[in-house]
Amino acid sequence: MAEKFPLPFVPTHIRPDGPGETPLLFAFRRRELLVNEDGTLPSYADINSRGFEAVRTQYLGRYGESHCYSAEFPPDAEAPSGLAFRDLRMLFTSLESELHAVAGRAVQIVEWDRTHQFCGACAKSTELSSSDRSRACPDCAIPAYPRLAPAMIVAVEREDEILLGRSTHFPAGIFSVLAGFVEPGESAEDAVVREVYEETRVVVDNVTYFGSQAWPYPNSLMLGFTARYVAGEIDCEHDELEDAAWFRYDKLPNTFPGDISISQWLLKDFIRRRNSAD
């Protein structure tokens, strides 16, 4: 009887004896995924038939009945006719969401494997562990795991208003909820209070967990929260934000379009709750 898998994707570092009948290959040139011209994933056989030579490959796990692999191509690799290398952020609408999530995992595994070929303590070549997803040199035995950077993102609310900011790297005119990385020694909730104050000089409390999202740009885990305004006047003269302001739920500025990120989910949840309260 075939083994049943309770999750759409089951990760593991242990390679199977063979690729199986319907393997999936997530092939990257740096952080760009090789896809068909319509943004869908090419078949394993199609990629192999093009004569590509991977620098390294990794086994990711199983998606349904399909074994999944990632591959690192040289930085100067050219896509053949009918295929293209594209940034993952361009593929949200063409790849199904679960496949896109596996691709996000894949690019992080590829990047980790590429950047941890040598020991950070003694510079000797590292080896893959047989017991988990790590690399270590045989002498130092210091394991190096795929990097994961926890970051907080928060909807700061003041009755019918929400605090939105503009980062210097946003497209012109776009505002979003506030975000920042969790620092050593602090909880995600502590990071919310600190980041909001550092970026705007606004004080918040009642920090409440909302949800999370893997965000492989490059290797973040976004932890979403809501928080309540307590005190302070907005002051962005601290090199953190280009601009920030309070906006009423029915008079919001331009924000990122779509429904693919936790920043959009936080905004939509705020609007929904305020509409329900009216």
173 and 110 in one domain? no
As a whole number of angstroms, the distance between CA 186 and CA 225 comes to 15
Say whether both 90 and 130 belong to one domain. Answer: no
Query: Could you tell me the pTM of the whole model?
Result: 0.90
Q: Judge whether 39 and 86 are in contact, CB under 8 Å.
A: yes
Mean per-residue pLDDT of the chain: 94
Task: Say if 1 falls within a structural domain.
Answer: no
Task: Say yes or no: 272 and 182 in one domain.
Answer: yes
What is the number of alpha carbons within 13 Å of residue 149 lying toward its C-beta?
A: 14
| 172 in the same domain as 107 | no
Last residue of some domain: 128, 145, 162? Answer: 145
**Judgement on whether residues 127 and 102 belong to the same structural domain of the protein:** no
Same domain? 155 vs 259: yes
pLDDT in tens, 165-175: 999 889 999 99
Q: Taking Cα atoms as reference points, which of 33, 35, 34, 77 lies closest to residue 55?
A: 77
Please give the Cα distance from 116 to 146 (Å, whole number).
9
CB 46 within 8 A of CB 59: no
Look at 97 and 155; give whichever has higher pLDDT. Answer: 155
Band (277; pLDDT cuts 50, 70, 90)? confident
45-54, 97-106, 235-244: segment of lowest average pLDDT: 235-244
Who contacts 34 (Cβ-Cβ below 8 Å, separation ≥6)? 27, 28, 42, 47, 73, 79, 83, 84, 85
What's the number of domains the chain is made of? 3
Q: Which of 230, 162, 159, 161 is nearest to 197 (CA)?
A: 230
Could you tell me the CATH number of the domain that includes residue 224? 3.90.79.10
Per-residue pLDDT tens over the stretch 220-274: 999 999 999 999 999 987 677 999 999 999 999 999 998 999 999 999 999 999 9
SS3 of 253, please? coil
Inter-residue contact 26 to 68 (CB < 8 Å): yes
User: 124 and 160: one domain?
Assistant: no
Tell me: pLDDT of 3 over 70.
no
Q: Is the domain of 128 the same as that of 153?
A: no
Q: Is residue 22 part of a domain?
A: yes
Which of 229, 222, 207, 209 shows the shortest CA–CA distance to 163? 229
One domain for residues 72 and 183: no
pLDDT at 1 over 70: no
**226 and 126 within one domain:** no
Indicate if 23 and 73 belong to the same structural domain. yes
Alpha helix stretches (DSSP H) within the chain: 44-49, 97-115, 188-200, 262-277
- Residue 110 in any domain: the answer is yes
Residues 130 and 227 placed together within one structural domain of the fold: no
Domain span at residue 133 reads 120-145
User: Does residue 4 belong to any structural domain of this protein?
Assistant: no
Residue 218 lies in a domain: yes
92 within domain boundaries: yes
In the 8-state DSSP scheme, what is residue 168?
A: T
- Decide if 80 is inside a domain: yes
In a domain, 2, yes or no: no
